[in-house]
Amino acid sequence: MQTILSRRGSALRRRGTSVVEFALTAPVLFALVFAAVEFGRANMLLHTTAIAATEGARRGIIAGVTAEECHQAAINELQMLGIKDALIMVHPEVITDQTEMITVGVRVPINTANSYLTPRFFLDDSVIKVVSITREAKSGAEAAALADNFNQLVADALNEGLGKKLGKGAEKDAKAAAKAAEKAAKAAEKAAAEAAKAAEKAAADAAKSAAKAAKGGGK
């Protein structure tokens, strides 16, 4: 009987020890897991921000593109991962054939909207990436100096909260651009129809004149 009681007491002590050990190690384990998730998400935001800025700048070196198209190219990369509240800046705002360099900057806040968990280590921080790409052939030193100047200019502007915000404003701009494009397409179609009608009328008049001239010559 004494042996049975002794075994029960030993088992209870082992269970108590396990509970105490779990209570001591669980907070450390959970902290490591949460930290790994947060650092992983921050790293993902860092790389996605860089990719978005790069894609926006690459879009800008194509002949005939607009700053709005560069902006949309950056938005598309961010929306793939559901990133919100981002600021995007394209320099210059008006791209012409004389534009030498395109600079695109993207700022992504590390907040609850862009994190899987409530951020602890990076709360209220932001990731900023600025990319400049030349549109014309330049020497390496000249291109690097120009890129540094534009990168700093755009980074300072993003830090001050300037740029177009990803969200309802961006969607509104995209809808406005689509509406303007549709309106321009309709205007072009109308102009083409009028031109075709005018050409048809001119051809008919020319045919009548030729027929009249032929009739007069026959007499």
Helix, strand, or coil (residue 165): strand
pLDDT confidence of residue 18: 78
Q: How confident is the model at residue 75 (pLDDT cuts 50, 70, 90)?
A: very high
Q: How confident is the model at residue 56 (pLDDT cuts 50, 70, 90)?
A: very high
Q: Of the given ranges (122-136, 164-178, 184-198), which has the lowest mean pLDDT? A: 164-178
What 8-state DSSP symbol labels residue 118? -
Q: Smallest Cα–Cα separation from 86: which of 103, 101, 102, 107?
A: 107
Which pLDDT tens digit goes with each residue over 144-170? 676 777 777 777 777 776 666 655 454
Helix, strand, or coil (residue 97): coil
Between 205 and 63, residue with greater pLDDT: 63
User: For the chain, what are the domain ranges?
Assistant: 18-179
Q: Across residues 93-98, what is the average pLDDT?
A: 86
* Interatomic CA distance for residues 203 and 97, integer angstroms: 39
* pLDDT at position 219 over 80: no
